[in-house]
Chains A and B, each alone.
Chain A
Amino acid sequence: MNLQAVSAIYSFEMARAGRTLLQSLVSPVISTSLYFVVFGAAIGSRIQEVEGVSYGAFIVPGLIMLMLLTQSVSNASFGIFFPKFTGTIYEVLSAPISYFEIVLGYVGAAASKSAILGLVILATANFFVDLHIQHPFMMLLFLVLTAITFSLLGFIIGIWADSFEKLQLVPLLIITPLTFLGGSFYAIDMLPPFWQAVTLANPVVYLVSGFRWSFYGISDVNIIASLVMVGVFLAVSLAIISWIFRTGYRLRP
Protein backbone atom coordinates (compact mmCIF):
# COMPACT_ATOMS: atom_id res chain seq x y z
CA MET A 1 0.00 0.00 0.00
CA ASN A 2 1.44 3.33 -1.10
CA LEU A 3 0.12 5.36 1.83
CA GLN A 4 2.35 8.31 0.99
CA ALA A 5 0.58 8.59 -2.35
CA VAL A 6 -2.91 8.27 -0.90
CA SER A 7 -2.08 10.94 1.63
CA ALA A 8 -0.53 13.15 -1.07
CA ILE A 9 -3.70 13.01 -3.19
CA TYR A 10 -5.94 13.36 -0.17
CA SER A 11 -4.17 16.40 1.22
CA PHE A 12 -3.84 17.94 -2.24
CA GLU A 13 -7.61 17.69 -2.71
CA MET A 14 -8.34 18.96 0.78
CA ALA A 15 -5.99 21.89 0.16
CA ARG A 16 -7.92 22.66 -3.02
CA ALA A 17 -11.07 22.98 -0.93
CA GLY A 18 -9.17 25.22 1.47
CA ARG A 19 -8.20 27.54 -1.39
CA THR A 20 -11.81 27.71 -2.56
CA LEU A 21 -13.37 27.91 0.86
CA LEU A 22 -15.95 30.41 -0.29
CA GLN A 23 -17.24 28.10 -2.98
CA SER A 24 -16.89 24.82 -1.14
CA LEU A 25 -18.23 25.79 2.28
CA VAL A 26 -19.68 29.23 2.54
CA SER A 27 -21.95 29.10 -0.50
CA PRO A 28 -23.72 25.83 0.44
CA VAL A 29 -24.20 27.14 3.96
CA ILE A 30 -25.73 30.35 2.65
CA SER A 31 -28.06 28.57 0.24
CA THR A 32 -29.16 26.15 2.97
CA SER A 33 -29.87 29.09 5.27
CA LEU A 34 -32.01 30.59 2.50
CA TYR A 35 -34.00 27.37 2.29
CA PHE A 36 -34.66 27.59 6.03
CA VAL A 37 -35.71 31.22 5.82
CA VAL A 38 -38.09 30.54 2.92
CA PHE A 39 -39.39 27.06 3.60
CA GLY A 40 -38.82 26.81 7.31
CA ALA A 41 -39.82 30.26 8.53
CA ALA A 42 -41.89 31.98 5.81
CA ILE A 43 -43.82 29.10 4.27
CA GLY A 44 -43.27 26.58 7.05
CA SER A 45 -45.12 28.70 9.59
CA ARG A 46 -48.27 28.21 7.52
CA ILE A 47 -47.77 24.49 7.03
CA GLN A 48 -49.08 22.09 9.59
CA GLU A 49 -46.77 19.62 11.31
CA VAL A 50 -45.74 16.58 9.30
CA GLU A 51 -46.16 13.37 11.33
CA GLY A 52 -45.71 15.33 14.54
CA VAL A 53 -42.61 17.23 13.43
CA SER A 54 -42.68 20.96 12.66
CA TYR A 55 -42.18 21.60 8.95
CA GLY A 56 -38.96 23.53 9.55
CA ALA A 57 -37.45 20.58 11.39
CA PHE A 58 -38.96 18.08 8.96
CA ILE A 59 -36.99 19.45 6.00
CA VAL A 60 -33.60 19.46 7.80
CA PRO A 61 -32.60 15.86 6.89
CA GLY A 62 -33.83 16.36 3.31
CA LEU A 63 -31.85 19.58 2.93
CA ILE A 64 -28.69 18.01 4.31
CA MET A 65 -29.21 15.10 1.91
CA LEU A 66 -29.73 17.51 -0.99
CA MET A 67 -26.44 19.26 -0.25
CA LEU A 68 -24.67 15.99 0.48
CA LEU A 69 -25.62 14.48 -2.87
CA THR A 70 -24.92 17.51 -5.03
CA GLN A 71 -21.68 18.45 -3.24
CA SER A 72 -20.34 14.89 -3.22
CA VAL A 73 -20.95 14.54 -6.93
CA SER A 74 -19.58 17.94 -7.87
CA ASN A 75 -16.55 17.71 -5.56
CA ALA A 76 -15.49 14.26 -6.71
CA SER A 77 -16.26 14.81 -10.39
CA PHE A 78 -14.30 18.04 -10.49
CA GLY A 79 -11.44 16.52 -8.49
CA ILE A 80 -10.70 13.94 -11.19
CA PHE A 81 -11.97 15.90 -14.20
CA PHE A 82 -9.69 18.88 -13.66
CA PRO A 83 -6.38 16.98 -13.81
CA LYS A 84 -7.75 15.16 -16.85
CA PHE A 85 -8.65 18.50 -18.40
CA THR A 86 -5.32 20.20 -17.65
CA GLY A 87 -3.30 17.08 -18.39
CA THR A 88 -1.71 16.74 -14.95
CA ILE A 89 -3.37 13.32 -14.63
CA TYR A 90 -0.26 11.92 -16.39
CA GLU A 91 1.55 12.10 -13.10
CA VAL A 92 -1.00 10.04 -11.19
CA LEU A 93 -1.12 7.46 -13.98
CA SER A 94 2.67 7.13 -14.09
CA ALA A 95 3.05 6.85 -10.32
CA PRO A 96 3.52 3.54 -8.48
CA ILE A 97 -0.01 3.64 -7.17
CA SER A 98 -2.89 1.18 -7.50
CA TYR A 99 -6.39 1.96 -8.72
CA PHE A 100 -7.71 1.40 -5.24
CA GLU A 101 -5.27 3.94 -3.84
CA ILE A 102 -6.21 6.50 -6.51
CA VAL A 103 -9.90 6.10 -5.62
CA LEU A 104 -9.13 6.20 -1.92
CA GLY A 105 -7.30 9.51 -2.32
CA TYR A 106 -9.75 11.30 -4.59
CA VAL A 107 -13.04 9.84 -3.34
CA GLY A 108 -11.89 9.86 0.27
CA ALA A 109 -11.18 13.59 0.04
CA ALA A 110 -14.46 14.37 -1.75
CA ALA A 111 -16.46 12.32 0.76
CA SER A 112 -14.67 13.94 3.70
CA LYS A 113 -15.44 17.38 2.35
CA SER A 114 -19.14 16.72 1.81
CA ALA A 115 -19.50 14.90 5.14
CA ILE A 116 -17.94 17.89 6.90
CA LEU A 117 -20.24 20.13 4.92
CA GLY A 118 -23.25 18.02 5.98
CA LEU A 119 -22.28 18.50 9.62
CA VAL A 120 -21.79 22.23 9.12
CA ILE A 121 -25.27 22.48 7.60
CA LEU A 122 -26.64 20.48 10.50
CA ALA A 123 -25.07 22.99 12.86
CA THR A 124 -26.47 25.86 10.78
CA ALA A 125 -29.94 24.29 10.89
CA ASN A 126 -29.67 24.22 14.65
CA PHE A 127 -29.83 28.02 14.62
CA PHE A 128 -33.17 28.02 12.83
CA VAL A 129 -35.04 25.06 14.26
CA ASP A 130 -35.13 22.99 17.37
CA LEU A 131 -33.32 19.76 16.45
CA HIS A 132 -33.21 16.43 18.22
CA ILE A 133 -31.56 13.38 16.76
CA GLN A 134 -33.00 10.06 17.92
CA HIS A 135 -30.38 7.80 16.37
CA PRO A 136 -27.12 9.76 16.16
CA PHE A 137 -25.05 6.73 15.19
CA MET A 138 -27.38 5.82 12.32
CA MET A 139 -27.44 9.47 11.30
CA LEU A 140 -23.65 9.50 11.01
CA LEU A 141 -23.65 6.16 9.21
CA PHE A 142 -26.11 7.43 6.61
CA LEU A 143 -24.19 10.66 6.26
CA VAL A 144 -20.86 8.97 5.70
CA LEU A 145 -22.16 6.17 3.47
CA THR A 146 -24.08 8.61 1.29
CA ALA A 147 -21.07 10.91 1.04
CA ILE A 148 -18.86 8.00 -0.04
CA THR A 149 -21.39 6.54 -2.46
CA PHE A 150 -22.13 9.78 -4.25
CA SER A 151 -18.49 10.77 -4.31
CA LEU A 152 -17.88 7.47 -6.12
CA LEU A 153 -20.65 8.44 -8.54
CA GLY A 154 -19.04 11.85 -8.99
CA PHE A 155 -15.67 10.20 -9.66
CA ILE A 156 -17.32 8.12 -12.41
CA ILE A 157 -18.91 11.22 -13.92
CA GLY A 158 -15.57 13.06 -13.79
CA ILE A 159 -13.86 10.27 -15.71
CA TRP A 160 -16.70 9.94 -18.21
CA ALA A 161 -17.05 13.67 -18.88
CA ASP A 162 -14.84 15.05 -21.64
CA SER A 163 -16.21 18.58 -21.44
CA PHE A 164 -17.36 20.98 -18.75
CA GLU A 165 -20.86 20.69 -20.15
CA LYS A 166 -21.00 16.96 -19.58
CA LEU A 167 -19.56 17.49 -16.14
CA GLN A 168 -22.61 19.58 -15.24
CA LEU A 169 -25.11 17.46 -17.16
CA VAL A 170 -25.65 14.58 -14.75
CA PRO A 171 -25.79 16.69 -11.57
CA LEU A 172 -28.18 19.19 -13.16
CA LEU A 173 -30.43 16.87 -15.11
CA ILE A 174 -30.49 13.82 -12.87
CA ILE A 175 -29.22 14.37 -9.33
CA THR A 176 -31.01 17.65 -8.58
CA PRO A 177 -34.45 16.55 -9.90
CA LEU A 178 -34.21 13.19 -8.20
CA THR A 179 -33.34 14.89 -4.92
CA PHE A 180 -36.13 17.45 -5.14
CA LEU A 181 -38.58 14.69 -6.03
CA GLY A 182 -37.05 12.42 -3.42
CA GLY A 183 -39.09 13.69 -0.52
CA SER A 184 -36.66 16.34 0.73
CA PHE A 185 -39.49 18.81 1.29
CA TYR A 186 -42.50 16.51 1.77
CA ALA A 187 -43.55 13.13 3.05
CA ILE A 188 -44.35 10.62 0.31
CA ASP A 189 -47.91 10.13 1.56
CA MET A 190 -48.62 13.80 0.81
CA LEU A 191 -48.55 12.80 -2.89
CA PRO A 192 -51.49 11.34 -4.90
CA PRO A 193 -51.44 7.50 -4.86
CA PHE A 194 -50.13 7.21 -8.44
CA TRP A 195 -47.13 9.45 -7.78
CA GLN A 196 -46.51 7.67 -4.51
CA ALA A 197 -45.92 4.48 -6.52
CA VAL A 198 -43.76 6.26 -9.13
CA THR A 199 -41.65 7.97 -6.51
CA LEU A 200 -40.64 4.62 -5.03
CA ALA A 201 -38.56 4.09 -8.17
CA ASN A 202 -36.48 7.12 -7.16
CA PRO A 203 -33.46 5.84 -5.25
CA VAL A 204 -33.01 9.15 -3.44
CA VAL A 205 -36.35 8.58 -1.64
CA TYR A 206 -34.74 5.74 0.30
CA LEU A 207 -31.76 7.87 1.30
CA VAL A 208 -33.84 10.82 2.49
CA SER A 209 -36.30 8.54 4.25
CA GLY A 210 -33.60 6.61 6.08
CA PHE A 211 -31.78 9.78 7.03
CA ARG A 212 -34.98 11.37 8.33
CA TRP A 213 -35.71 8.23 10.32
CA SER A 214 -32.37 8.62 12.12
CA PHE A 215 -33.52 12.12 13.21
CA TYR A 216 -37.18 11.65 14.12
CA GLY A 217 -37.93 7.93 13.93
CA ILE A 218 -40.41 8.58 11.09
CA SER A 219 -39.84 7.30 7.57
CA ASP A 220 -41.56 6.87 4.22
CA VAL A 221 -40.03 3.47 3.60
CA ASN A 222 -38.63 0.79 5.86
CA ILE A 223 -35.23 1.67 7.33
CA ILE A 224 -33.88 -1.72 6.20
CA ALA A 225 -34.92 -0.90 2.62
CA SER A 226 -33.03 2.39 2.94
CA LEU A 227 -29.88 0.67 4.14
CA VAL A 228 -30.13 -1.94 1.38
CA MET A 229 -30.52 0.85 -1.17
CA VAL A 230 -27.36 2.61 0.02
CA GLY A 231 -25.57 -0.75 -0.18
CA VAL A 232 -26.82 -1.36 -3.74
CA PHE A 233 -25.71 2.14 -4.79
CA LEU A 234 -22.30 1.59 -3.28
CA ALA A 235 -21.89 -1.80 -4.95
CA VAL A 236 -22.95 -0.52 -8.38
CA SER A 237 -20.59 2.47 -8.15
CA LEU A 238 -17.69 0.26 -7.08
CA ALA A 239 -18.42 -2.18 -9.91
CA ILE A 240 -18.41 0.61 -12.50
CA ILE A 241 -15.17 2.04 -11.12
CA SER A 242 -13.44 -1.31 -11.18
CA TRP A 243 -14.59 -1.72 -14.79
CA ILE A 244 -13.21 1.74 -15.63
CA PHE A 245 -9.81 0.86 -14.28
CA ARG A 246 -9.78 -2.64 -15.72
CA THR A 247 -10.41 -1.33 -19.22
CA GLY A 248 -8.52 1.95 -18.88
CA TYR A 249 -11.71 3.71 -20.00
CA ARG A 250 -10.95 7.36 -20.79
CA LEU A 251 -7.83 7.20 -18.64
CA ARG A 252 -5.36 4.83 -20.30
CA PRO A 253 -5.93 4.51 -24.05
Chain B
Amino acid sequence: MSHETSTAPEQATRTEIPATHPAPVIAVSGLSKRYDSGFEALKRIDLEIQRGEIFALLGPNGAGKTTLISIICGLVNASAGSVLIDGHDNVSDYRAARAKIGLVPQELTSDAFENVWNTVRFSRGLFGRKPDKAHIEQVLKALSLWDKRKNKLITLSGGMKRRVLIAKALAHEPEILFLDEPTAGVDVELRRDMWEVVRELRSSGVTIILTTHYIEEAEEMADRIGVINRGEIVLVREKAALMRQLGSKQLTLQLQKPLASVPPALARYPLSLADDGNVLVYTYDSHDTDSGDRVAISTLLNEIEAAGIRFKDLHTKQSSLEEIFVNLVRERQ
Protein backbone atom coordinates (compact mmCIF):
# COMPACT_ATOMS: atom_id res chain seq x y z
CA MET B 1 0.00 0.00 0.00
CA SER B 2 2.71 2.37 0.90
CA HIS B 3 4.11 2.03 -2.58
CA GLU B 4 1.03 3.20 -4.38
CA THR B 5 0.69 6.31 -2.28
CA SER B 6 4.28 7.35 -2.69
CA THR B 7 4.83 6.77 -6.40
CA ALA B 8 2.97 9.86 -7.53
CA PRO B 9 4.86 12.40 -5.40
CA GLU B 10 8.10 10.61 -6.28
CA GLN B 11 7.68 11.59 -9.89
CA ALA B 12 7.40 15.19 -8.81
CA THR B 13 10.81 15.55 -7.19
CA ARG B 14 11.64 18.46 -9.54
CA THR B 15 10.44 21.88 -8.57
CA GLU B 16 7.32 22.76 -10.48
CA ILE B 17 7.40 26.38 -11.53
CA PRO B 18 4.89 27.67 -14.01
CA ALA B 19 6.64 29.51 -16.85
CA THR B 20 4.84 32.75 -15.99
CA HIS B 21 6.64 33.15 -12.64
CA PRO B 22 9.19 35.94 -12.38
CA ALA B 23 12.72 35.32 -11.08
CA PRO B 24 12.70 33.47 -7.77
CA VAL B 25 13.35 35.53 -4.66
CA ILE B 26 15.59 32.77 -3.32
CA ALA B 27 17.60 30.48 -5.58
CA VAL B 28 19.54 27.69 -3.90
CA SER B 29 21.70 25.59 -6.18
CA GLY B 30 23.93 22.63 -5.52
CA LEU B 31 24.01 23.41 -1.82
CA SER B 32 25.93 20.90 0.30
CA LYS B 33 26.99 20.91 3.89
CA ARG B 34 29.35 18.52 5.57
CA TYR B 35 30.09 19.39 9.20
CA ASP B 36 33.54 18.92 10.69
CA SER B 37 32.23 15.80 12.42
CA GLY B 38 31.81 14.30 8.95
CA PHE B 39 28.01 14.47 9.11
CA GLU B 40 26.55 15.31 5.72
CA ALA B 41 23.60 17.54 6.57
CA LEU B 42 22.74 18.66 3.03
CA LYS B 43 23.37 16.88 -0.26
CA ARG B 44 23.34 19.10 -3.34
CA ILE B 45 20.08 20.91 -2.61
CA ASP B 46 18.36 22.81 -5.42
CA LEU B 47 15.40 24.93 -4.43
CA GLU B 48 13.66 28.04 -5.68
CA ILE B 49 11.31 30.16 -3.61
CA GLN B 50 8.90 32.45 -5.45
CA ARG B 51 8.33 36.03 -4.43
CA GLY B 52 5.33 36.46 -2.16
CA GLU B 53 4.61 32.80 -1.53
CA ILE B 54 4.36 30.89 1.71
CA PHE B 55 6.63 27.90 1.40
CA ALA B 56 6.50 25.14 3.98
CA LEU B 57 9.54 22.97 4.41
CA LEU B 58 8.57 19.69 5.98
CA GLY B 59 10.86 17.05 7.32
CA PRO B 60 11.56 14.84 10.29
CA ASN B 61 13.98 15.92 13.00
CA GLY B 62 17.54 16.02 11.74
CA ALA B 63 16.48 16.14 8.09
CA GLY B 64 18.45 19.31 7.37
CA LYS B 65 15.73 21.96 7.64
CA THR B 66 17.56 24.14 10.11
CA THR B 67 20.93 23.68 8.39
CA LEU B 68 19.38 24.80 5.10
CA ILE B 69 17.84 27.89 6.70
CA SER B 70 21.04 28.62 8.61
CA ILE B 71 23.11 28.61 5.43
CA ILE B 72 20.65 30.85 3.59
CA CYS B 73 20.65 33.31 6.51
CA GLY B 74 24.42 33.30 6.95
CA LEU B 75 24.70 31.41 10.25
CA VAL B 76 26.47 28.41 8.77
CA ASN B 77 29.01 28.25 5.96
CA ALA B 78 28.11 26.02 3.02
CA SER B 79 30.56 23.33 1.90
CA ALA B 80 29.52 23.77 -1.74
CA GLY B 81 26.86 25.47 -3.83
CA SER B 82 25.37 28.92 -3.82
CA VAL B 83 22.43 30.92 -2.54
CA LEU B 84 21.03 33.96 -4.33
CA ILE B 85 18.73 36.26 -2.39
CA ASP B 86 16.82 38.40 -4.86
CA GLY B 87 19.85 38.11 -7.16
CA HIS B 88 22.44 38.83 -4.46
CA ASP B 89 24.93 36.10 -3.59
CA ASN B 90 24.64 35.51 0.16
CA VAL B 91 28.42 35.29 0.59
CA SER B 92 30.01 37.74 -1.83
CA ASP B 93 27.17 40.26 -1.56
CA TYR B 94 26.07 39.40 1.98
CA ARG B 95 25.02 42.90 2.97
CA ALA B 96 22.39 43.26 0.27
CA ALA B 97 21.32 39.63 0.70
CA ARG B 98 20.97 39.60 4.49
CA ALA B 99 19.26 43.00 4.67
CA LYS B 100 16.25 41.43 2.94
CA ILE B 101 15.89 38.57 5.39
CA GLY B 102 14.31 38.28 8.80
CA LEU B 103 14.90 35.10 10.78
CA VAL B 104 12.86 33.67 13.63
CA PRO B 105 14.98 30.88 15.06
CA GLN B 106 13.73 27.64 16.48
CA GLU B 107 15.31 28.08 19.89
CA LEU B 108 13.72 30.57 22.26
CA THR B 109 16.76 32.77 22.75
CA SER B 110 16.64 36.13 24.44
CA ASP B 111 18.73 38.74 26.13
CA ALA B 112 17.19 37.88 29.45
CA PHE B 113 17.65 41.24 31.18
CA GLU B 114 16.74 43.50 28.27
CA ASN B 115 13.22 44.79 27.84
CA VAL B 116 11.00 44.12 24.84
CA TRP B 117 11.19 47.58 23.31
CA ASN B 118 14.97 47.82 23.51
CA THR B 119 15.61 44.38 22.12
CA VAL B 120 13.37 45.04 19.12
CA ARG B 121 14.97 48.45 18.57
CA PHE B 122 18.39 46.77 18.73
CA SER B 123 17.38 44.36 15.97
CA ARG B 124 16.35 47.19 13.69
CA GLY B 125 19.66 48.98 14.21
CA LEU B 126 21.64 45.80 13.68
CA PHE B 127 20.15 45.50 10.22
CA GLY B 128 21.24 49.02 9.39
CA ARG B 129 17.86 50.69 9.56
CA LYS B 130 17.36 54.13 11.04
CA PRO B 131 15.32 54.21 14.26
CA ASP B 132 11.58 54.25 13.55
CA LYS B 133 9.42 54.28 16.65
CA ALA B 134 6.21 54.17 14.64
CA HIS B 135 7.23 50.97 12.87
CA ILE B 136 8.31 49.23 16.06
CA GLU B 137 5.09 50.31 17.74
CA GLN B 138 3.11 48.86 14.86
CA VAL B 139 5.01 45.55 15.00
CA LEU B 140 4.57 45.26 18.76
CA LYS B 141 0.87 46.02 18.52
CA ALA B 142 0.35 43.50 15.72
CA LEU B 143 1.92 40.82 17.92
CA SER B 144 0.01 41.89 21.05
CA LEU B 145 3.29 42.87 22.70
CA TRP B 146 2.59 46.55 23.13
CA ASP B 147 1.49 46.21 26.77
CA LYS B 148 4.61 44.22 27.52
CA ARG B 149 7.06 46.59 25.86
CA LYS B 150 8.67 47.61 29.15
CA ASN B 151 8.85 44.08 30.53
CA LYS B 152 12.15 42.31 30.82
CA LEU B 153 12.36 39.33 28.53
CA ILE B 154 13.12 36.99 31.40
CA THR B 155 9.66 37.70 32.85
CA LEU B 156 7.82 36.65 29.68
CA SER B 157 6.17 33.30 29.01
CA GLY B 158 7.43 31.03 26.23
CA GLY B 159 4.69 32.12 23.87
CA MET B 160 5.45 35.79 24.50
CA LYS B 161 9.15 35.20 23.92
CA ARG B 162 8.26 33.58 20.60
CA ARG B 163 6.33 36.74 19.70
CA VAL B 164 9.32 38.87 20.66
CA LEU B 165 11.53 36.84 18.32
CA ILE B 166 9.04 37.46 15.52
CA ALA B 167 8.96 41.17 16.36
CA LYS B 168 12.76 41.27 16.24
CA ALA B 169 12.75 39.58 12.85
CA LEU B 170 10.19 42.09 11.54
CA ALA B 171 11.85 45.15 13.04
CA HIS B 172 13.88 45.89 9.92
CA GLU B 173 10.97 45.38 7.52
CA PRO B 174 12.34 42.28 5.76
CA GLU B 175 11.11 41.13 2.35
CA ILE B 176 11.68 37.51 3.25
CA LEU B 177 10.79 35.95 6.58
CA PHE B 178 12.10 32.61 7.81
CA LEU B 179 10.12 30.94 10.56
CA ASP B 180 11.96 27.93 11.88
CA GLU B 181 9.42 25.74 13.71
CA PRO B 182 7.39 28.83 14.70
CA THR B 183 4.69 26.94 16.56
CA ALA B 184 6.76 24.30 18.32
CA GLY B 185 5.54 24.19 21.91
CA VAL B 186 3.01 26.95 21.35
CA ASP B 187 -0.59 26.80 22.51
CA VAL B 188 -3.50 26.68 20.08
CA GLU B 189 -4.51 30.30 20.56
CA LEU B 190 -1.03 31.61 19.86
CA ARG B 191 -0.75 29.31 16.88
CA ARG B 192 -3.88 30.85 15.38
CA ASP B 193 -2.60 34.35 16.12
CA MET B 194 0.69 33.52 14.47
CA TRP B 195 -0.99 32.16 11.38
CA GLU B 196 -2.98 35.38 11.21
CA VAL B 197 0.19 37.46 11.40
CA VAL B 198 1.81 35.34 8.71
CA ARG B 199 -1.17 35.79 6.41
CA GLU B 200 -1.12 39.54 6.92
CA LEU B 201 2.56 39.63 6.12
CA ARG B 202 2.06 37.63 2.99
CA SER B 203 -0.69 39.96 1.85
CA SER B 204 1.76 42.85 2.30
CA GLY B 205 4.12 41.09 -0.11
CA VAL B 206 6.52 39.36 2.27
CA THR B 207 7.79 35.96 1.18
CA ILE B 208 7.54 33.43 4.00
CA ILE B 209 9.43 30.21 4.45
CA LEU B 210 8.43 28.13 7.41
CA THR B 211 9.73 24.83 8.60
CA THR B 212 7.53 22.58 10.58
CA HIS B 213 6.89 19.02 11.36
CA TYR B 214 3.23 19.66 11.94
CA ILE B 215 1.50 18.60 8.75
CA GLU B 216 -1.65 20.59 9.62
CA GLU B 217 0.39 23.71 9.75
CA ALA B 218 1.67 23.20 6.23
CA GLU B 219 -1.85 22.34 5.05
CA GLU B 220 -3.28 25.41 6.72
CA MET B 221 -0.69 27.94 5.61
CA ALA B 222 1.41 27.00 2.64
CA ASP B 223 1.14 27.77 -1.05
CA ARG B 224 3.81 25.21 -1.79
CA ILE B 225 5.24 22.39 0.22
CA GLY B 226 8.72 20.95 0.10
CA VAL B 227 9.77 17.79 1.85
CA ILE B 228 13.33 17.36 2.98
CA ASN B 229 14.78 14.16 4.33
CA ARG B 230 18.34 13.10 5.08
CA GLY B 231 19.68 16.25 3.49
CA GLU B 232 17.78 15.86 0.24
CA ILE B 233 14.71 17.61 -1.13
CA VAL B 234 12.44 14.73 -1.99
CA LEU B 235 9.41 16.65 -3.14
CA VAL B 236 8.34 20.18 -3.99
CA ARG B 237 4.73 20.70 -5.02
CA GLU B 238 1.92 23.19 -5.01
CA LYS B 239 -0.22 22.50 -1.99
CA ALA B 240 -3.32 22.37 -4.19
CA ALA B 241 -1.79 19.55 -6.22
CA LEU B 242 -0.96 17.70 -3.06
CA MET B 243 -4.46 18.22 -1.74
CA ARG B 244 -5.86 16.67 -4.91
CA GLN B 245 -3.67 13.74 -4.15
CA LEU B 246 -5.02 13.79 -0.65
CA GLY B 247 -8.43 13.38 -2.19
CA SER B 248 -7.54 10.03 -3.74
CA LYS B 249 -9.16 7.09 -2.00
CA GLN B 250 -8.45 3.40 -2.23
CA LEU B 251 -10.80 0.45 -2.02
CA THR B 252 -8.95 -2.72 -1.08
CA LEU B 253 -10.42 -6.19 -1.53
CA GLN B 254 -8.87 -9.22 0.14
CA LEU B 255 -9.52 -12.03 -2.35
CA GLN B 256 -10.37 -15.59 -1.46
CA LYS B 257 -8.24 -16.91 -4.29
CA PRO B 258 -5.32 -15.09 -5.87
CA LEU B 259 -5.70 -13.69 -9.37
CA ALA B 260 -3.02 -13.85 -12.04
CA SER B 261 -4.35 -10.71 -13.76
CA VAL B 262 -7.30 -8.33 -13.70
CA PRO B 263 -10.12 -9.96 -15.70
CA PRO B 264 -10.77 -8.20 -19.08
CA ALA B 265 -14.38 -7.62 -18.07
CA LEU B 266 -13.13 -5.13 -15.43
CA ALA B 267 -10.52 -3.46 -17.64
CA ARG B 268 -12.36 -0.11 -17.68
CA TYR B 269 -11.71 0.38 -13.96
CA PRO B 270 -8.37 1.54 -12.62
CA LEU B 271 -7.72 -1.72 -10.79
CA SER B 272 -4.44 -3.20 -9.79
CA LEU B 273 -3.32 -6.35 -8.04
CA ALA B 274 -1.06 -6.48 -5.05
CA ASP B 275 0.32 -8.99 -2.60
CA ASP B 276 0.85 -11.74 -5.22
CA GLY B 277 -2.63 -11.34 -6.59
CA ASN B 278 -4.34 -11.75 -3.22
CA VAL B 279 -5.39 -8.12 -3.04
CA LEU B 280 -7.33 -6.09 -5.57
CA VAL B 281 -6.95 -2.32 -5.28
CA TYR B 282 -9.28 0.28 -6.76
CA THR B 283 -8.08 3.90 -6.67
CA TYR B 284 -10.64 6.67 -7.17
CA ASP B 285 -11.16 10.35 -6.57
CA SER B 286 -13.36 11.21 -3.62
CA HIS B 287 -13.74 14.73 -4.97
CA ASP B 288 -16.25 13.30 -7.44
CA THR B 289 -19.80 13.82 -6.24
CA ASP B 290 -20.66 11.53 -3.42
CA SER B 291 -23.67 9.99 -5.14
CA GLY B 292 -21.70 9.35 -8.36
CA ASP B 293 -19.06 7.74 -6.29
CA ARG B 294 -21.35 5.42 -4.49
CA VAL B 295 -22.96 4.29 -7.70
CA ALA B 296 -19.53 3.66 -9.17
CA ILE B 297 -18.44 1.56 -6.24
CA SER B 298 -21.62 -0.48 -6.00
CA THR B 299 -21.50 -1.02 -9.77
CA LEU B 300 -17.90 -2.08 -9.50
CA LEU B 301 -18.66 -4.50 -6.68
CA ASN B 302 -21.52 -6.02 -8.69
CA GLU B 303 -19.30 -6.44 -11.71
CA ILE B 304 -16.60 -8.04 -9.58
CA GLU B 305 -19.21 -10.53 -8.31
CA ALA B 306 -20.34 -11.13 -11.86
CA ALA B 307 -16.78 -11.82 -12.92
CA GLY B 308 -16.72 -14.61 -10.37
CA ILE B 309 -14.25 -13.00 -8.04
CA ARG B 310 -14.93 -13.72 -4.34
CA PHE B 311 -13.51 -11.57 -1.59
CA LYS B 312 -13.34 -12.17 2.14
CA ASP B 313 -12.85 -8.60 3.31
CA LEU B 314 -12.81 -5.04 2.06
CA HIS B 315 -11.84 -1.64 3.33
CA THR B 316 -11.42 1.89 2.03
CA LYS B 317 -8.84 4.39 2.97
CA GLN B 318 -7.99 8.00 2.23
CA SER B 319 -4.33 8.95 1.99
CA SER B 320 -3.28 11.98 4.03
CA LEU B 321 -0.43 14.38 3.51
CA GLU B 322 1.04 12.85 6.60
CA GLU B 323 0.95 9.43 5.00
CA ILE B 324 2.55 10.68 1.81
CA PHE B 325 5.17 12.33 3.91
CA VAL B 326 5.84 9.33 6.10
CA ASN B 327 6.06 7.04 3.09
CA LEU B 328 8.43 9.36 1.31
CA VAL B 329 10.62 9.58 4.34
CA ARG B 330 10.53 5.84 4.99
CA GLU B 331 11.32 4.99 1.41
CA ARG B 332 14.48 7.07 1.45
CA GLN B 333 15.87 5.43 4.51
Contacts and interface: CB of A to CB of B under 8 A. Distances in A.
A87 B105 contact: yes
Contact of A95 (B35, B36, B127, B130): B127
Overall SS of chain A's interface: helix
A8 interface: yes
Given A93-B74, A252-B77, A86 B105 contact: no
Given A96-B128, A252-B77, A253-B36, A90 B109 contact: yes
Interface residues of A, number: 26
B118 interface: yes
A124 interface: no
Interface string B79-120: 000000000000000111111010101010111111000100
B101 A94 contact: yes
B73 interface: yes
A9 interface: yes
Contacts of A98: 95
B98 to A, nearest CB: 4
Contacts of A83: 111
Given A4-B130, A12-B114, A252-B77, 4 more contacts: A4-B126, A8-B122, A96-B96, A96-B99
Given A86-B110, A87-B109, A94 B75 contact: yes
A94 B130 CA distance: 18
A94 B125 contact: no
A12 B123 CA distance: 10
A243 to B, nearest CB: 15
Interface of A: 2, 4-5, 7-9, 12, 15-16, 19, 83, 86-88, 90-98, 248, 252-253
B271 to A, nearest CB: 53
17 contacts: A8-B125, A15-B114, A15-B118, A86-B110, A87-B109, A88-B110, A90-B75, A91-B103, A92-B126, A93-B75, A94-B74, A94-B101, A94-B103, A96-B95, A96-B97, A96-B99, A253-B35
B77 A253 contact: yes
B76 interface: yes
Interface string B121-146: 11111111110000000000000000
A82 to B, nearest CB: 8
B87 to A, nearest CB: 15
Contacts of B110: 86, 88
A93 B75 CA distance: 6
B127 A96 contact: yes
A92 B220 CA distance: 32
Interface of B: 35-36, 73-77, 94-99, 101, 103, 105, 107, 109-114, 118, 121-130, 168
Contacts of B168: 91
Contacts of A95: 98, 126-128
A153 B88 CA distance: 34
Candidate in B96, B114, B128 with the most chain A CB atoms within 10 angstroms: B128
Contacts, number: 79
B125 A86 contact: no
A7 B114 CA distance: 17
A253 B168 CA distance: 24
Given A90-B109, A91-B168, A9 B126 contact: yes
Contacts of A4: 125-130
B16 to A, nearest CB: 30
A205 to B, nearest CB: 39
B65 to A, nearest CB: 15
A5 B125 contact: yes
Nearest to B95: A96
A253 B70 CA distance: 10
B226 to A, nearest CB: 21
Candidate in A12, A95, A252, A253 with the most chain B CB atoms within 10 angstroms: A95
Contacts of A12: 114, 118, 122
- 5 closest residue pairs by CB, A with B: A8-B125, A87-B109, A96-B95, A96-B98, A96-B99
A19 B113 contact: yes
Candidate in A7, A86, A91 with the most chain B CB atoms within 10 angstroms: A91
A21 to B, nearest CB: 13
A178 to B, nearest CB: 32
Contacts of A92: 126
Nearest to B75: A93
